[in-house]
Structure 1
C-alpha cells in the first residue's frame, strides 16, 4: 500500500494491492496462540480481517491497531469461555476460530451472517467431536456453532477435504496447542496451495510440521503448478507436534487473488501492470493465475520482489485449464474470456459452488445476461467468444463476482454492478484503484 503510481508512454502502471486476506487471518490466529507479541506489518484492513480481529478480541486476545501495523499479544494457550463470537461474513473465522476455542476451556458460541450460516461446516464439526470437544451445530449443520471446550486430545483423523481446504487449515493452525501430536489425512484435498501457505506460516512461528509427499511443499509461483500436479489427487497427510508457537514479526505480502483483477485488466487493455512485493517466493498459490494469462497470450514477468503482466494483443482462447488449486481466480478468467478468439474451458472448480455464492452459477448467469454463450457442469464452465452487451451484473453479495466483472467493464461500456459495495469484504478501495489506473473505462459503481 502507498506505492506511487508510475506511468510511461507504453501505458505502464503500478497497482496498489492491499495485503493478503489469507495470510492476514492465518497470522492473526498464529499470533493469538503464540507466546509473546507478534507484529503484523501491512495487514489487510477489510471487512473479513476486521471481523476476524474482533472475534479474537472477543476470545480475550489483545490486539493493538497502529498505522500500517497491528500488534497481537499472544496468550500461548487456548482461550477461556464463556464467549459469544460474531464471524460476520468471514468463512475463515467460522472455520479456524472454533478449533482454537476448543483447545481452551469453557463454552463458546459462534454466529455469523445469513450468508455465512448457509455455508457448510460438517467435516469440521465431526473432526472436533472426534478430538474431544462438545460440538452442537445449528439446524443447517453450520452456524450457530456451540463449543463446549475442554482441550483437544490430538491423535489421528481422516478429514473430508473435497469441498474446502479451510477445514484442514483450521485444524492444523491450532494443532500445536493440542495434548498429543495431530495427524490428519485429508481425503480429496482441494485448493492445495493454501495448505502449503498454512504450513509455511506455522513454521515461521516455530511449529514442528511434517508433510508426506502428497501435500506439495511451498513452491515459487513459476513451479507451483508442476508441484501440485505431481502431488496427485488422493489428498495428503500432515503431522503436527504439540509445543505451541513463539511470537514474531511478519510483513503481509499483497493479496494475489486481488492482484488477479489488475493483471487481467493489463491483458485486456494492452497495459503493463506491475505489483511490487509479490514475487517468485510468494506464499500464495493464486499468483499462478499469471501463468493462465500467459496461456491466453499475455507477457508475464515474475521477479524476486514483483510481478508484471503486459497485454500484447488480442486474448487467445481455444484451450482448457484446470483451476482447482486457484479457484478464487477462475472468475477473473471467466469474466474476460468472451473477448478471447476461441472458447475457454475451466475445470476442477466444483468446490467453488460452496463459496460466498454458487460461483459457477453466478458467473454463467451473468455472462448469459450479457449475451455470451456459456455451457457449464458440476465442476466446469466453457465460455465462447462473443460481443458482451451492457447489463447489470448480479453480484450475489460476492466480492469476487463484482471485481471480476468490473474488469470486463473496462472493455464493455454500460456494465454496472447491483452491489458495488460488496468488494469491502477484501478490498474496500477496489473501485477507486481501478479508476485511478484506468480512468473513465472503469464500471459505474452506482447500484
Structure 2
C-alpha cells in the first residue's frame, strides 16, 4: 500500500481552492495510507494550558489550521509569547495576562469558549468578536459562569466584552452545559488559577461530547492539577499551579473520518498511521462505527488502523452524543446504505458551525435522499442519488461529507471546500493524492501536476 504523506509544513500552510469544487469520483477502489495532521481539540487545549503554566512548554505535531491560528493569535492578544516559526511551537506564559485588545474567534468554538475564561485573569477588559456565523452560536451558559465567578460580561453572544477583577476567588459555579461541553472545559482550564479553586456543576439536559471533557481533565492532571470528577456532572478543581509540559499531539481522529469512510464506500482499503490504542478524542469510536456499516477493521502491528470496504453498506442505528462531530460523515455513509439508518443524540449540533441537522437534511434531500429531522437526530432513507451542488454553510464537516458522497455519485459540486481550512488545510491535497494513488499515479506526480487529479 502506498503512502499519502502530509504536504510539507511551511509558514503558509496548504489551503483548499476557493470557490466551487467538483468533488472527484473514485476511479477504482481506494487503497492508500493517509497521514492525518494533529488533533485540533488537543492542540488548542495544549496551547491554553501552556499559557496558564508556570514556565515555557513545547508543542510538537500541533495542528496548523485556521482554528489553531486563531487560538495562537488570541493568546498573543492576552500577552502570551507563542513562537510557531518551526515544526514545534514554544509557548511562554506572561507574568500576567494583558487586556485592552480584541480576540478574533472566527468560527472556532474552542477559541470563543476557552479564551473568555482566561480574560477574567487579565488586567483590563478583553473584547471578543468573530465571523458573522459565530454570532448565532450559543454562549450564554459560559458567560453566566464567568458572571458567577465575579466577572462583568457585556452581552450573551458574540460580540461581547469580559472584564475580570481582583475578587475572582472561585468556588461553586452551576451552569447548563447541555448545548456544549466546551463551557465545562473552558471553566475547568482556569480552575486551578482561582484562589479557592472551582466546584463546577452541570444542571440541565443531557451533557454532550463527554470525551472532550475527559480530555480536558486528563490534560490538566498531566500538568499536576488535582481534579475530582468522581461525582456525575460535577468537577472539583483544587487551587494550585499548572506545570509546564512538552507534548506531542495525537493525529486528529475525527479528521480521519472521511478518508477511512472512503475505503468503506469504494470497497478499498485505507490506513491511518499512529492510531492510538486509547484516546479521549471522540473520533476513537470511528472504527466501531465503520464496522457497524459493514467494513472490516484491522489494527496493524505498526500502530496503524486499516479500514477495508466490503460488498455492501449496512444501515445502522447509532447514538452519536459523545462523538457528534462525526455526524455529517456518518450521515453521508448512511445515505448510501442498503436501508434506513437512525442517528440519535445529536440535537445539540443545531448550535455548531451551522445548524448541522438542517444542513445535512437539506443537502441530502437535494441529491435525492429522503431525510427526517427528529428532536435529537436524523432518519435517513437512502434513494438513488444524483449530482448537484452541495452547500457547506462555511462548515468544514459538511465539506468533508460532500467530498465523500462525490466519490460514488457523479457531478457533485462542493460550493466552498476552502472552509476545510478551519481544521484541516491539507484536506484537498490529501484527498486528491489519495485518489491519484487509486488511479495509479504517485503522490509526487499529482503534487507536481494537480490538474491531473481524478475528477
TM above 0.5, yes or no, is yes
Match of 1:168 in 2: 184
Name which of 380, 396, 401 aligns with 1:404: 401
Greater relative contact order: 1 or 2 (C-alpha under 8 angstroms, separation 6 or more)?
2
Give 1:78 deviation, angstroms: 5.2
Residue 51 (structure 2) pairs with residue 32 (structure 1):
yes
Residue 264 (structure 2) pairs with residue 245 (structure 1):
no
What does 1:213-252 align with in structure 2 at a 5 Å threshold?
A: 213-214=231-232, 236-252=233-249
Q: Measure, in 2, the Cα distance between the counterparts of 1:206 and 1:435.
A: 43
**Partners of 2:32 and 2:438 within 8 A in 1:** no
The alignment partner of 1:257 has SS state of coil
Give 1:354 deviation, angstroms: 0.3
Match of 1:385 in 2: 382
Structure 2: tracts of 5 or more residues without a match: 7-27, 440-450
Give 1:440 deviation, angstroms: 9.5
Q: Measure, in 1, the Cα distance between the counterparts of 2:421 and 2:5.
A: 22
The alignment partner of 1:150 has SS state of coil
The alignment partner of 1:267 has SS state of helix
Q: Measure, in 2, the Cα distance between the counterparts of 1:362 and 1:4.
A: 31
Name which of 20, 33, 36 aligns with 2:39: 20
Q: Measure, in 2, the Cα distance between the counterparts of 1:349 and 1:115.
A: 20
Name which of 131, 141, 150 aligns with 2:165: 150
Q: Measure, in 1, the Cα distance between the counterparts of 2:300 and 2:282.
A: 16
**Partners of 1:279 and 1:302 within 8 A in 2:** no
Q: Measure, in 2, the Cα distance between the counterparts of 1:372 and 1:87.
A: 35
Match of 1:222 in 2: none
The alignment partner of 1:184 has SS state of strand
Give 1:11 deviation, angstroms: 5.5
The alignment partner of 1:416 has SS state of strand
Between Structure 1 and Structure 2, how many residues are aligned? 414
Match of 2:127 in 1: 109
Name which of 36, 56, 78 aligns with 1:59: 78
Give 1:161 deviation, angstroms: 1.0
Q: Measure, in 1, the Cα distance between the counterparts of 2:135 and 2:152.
A: 20
**Partners of 2:77 and 2:99 within 8 A in 1:** no
Per-residue CA shift, 1:278-317, capped at 9, x if unaligned? 2212231222022111111111234683322111221111
Match of 1:429 in 2: 426
Match of 1:343 in 2: 340
- Give 4+ residue runs of structure 1 displaced > 4 Å after superposition: 3-6
The alignment partner of 2:255 has SS state of helix
The 3 A distance-change label for structure 1 pair 132 and 300 is same
Residue 101 (structure 2) pairs with residue 83 (structure 1):
yes
Residue 46 (structure 2) pairs with residue 48 (structure 1):
no
The alignment partner of 2:327 has SS state of helix
Residue 369 (structure 2) pairs with residue 372 (structure 1):
yes
What does 1:133-282 align with in structure 2 at a 5 Å threshold?
A: 133-137=151-155, 141-151=156-166, 152-187=168-203, 188-214=206-232, 236-282=233-279
Match of 2:10 in 1: none
Q: Measure, in 2, the Cα distance between the counterparts of 1:166 and 1:282.
A: 18
**Partners of 1:20 and 1:44 within 8 A in 2:** yes
Give 1:370 deviation, angstroms: 0.1
Per-residue CA shift, 1:313-335, capped at 9, x if unaligned? 21111x31101110000110101
Q: Please, which moves more after superposition, 260-269 or 305-314?
A: 305-314
The 3 A distance-change label for structure 1 pair 388 and 189 is same
Give 1:213 deviation, angstroms: 4.6
Residue 115 (structure 2) pairs with residue 97 (structure 1):
yes
Q: Which has the higher strand share?
A: 1
The alignment partner of 2:305 has SS state of strand
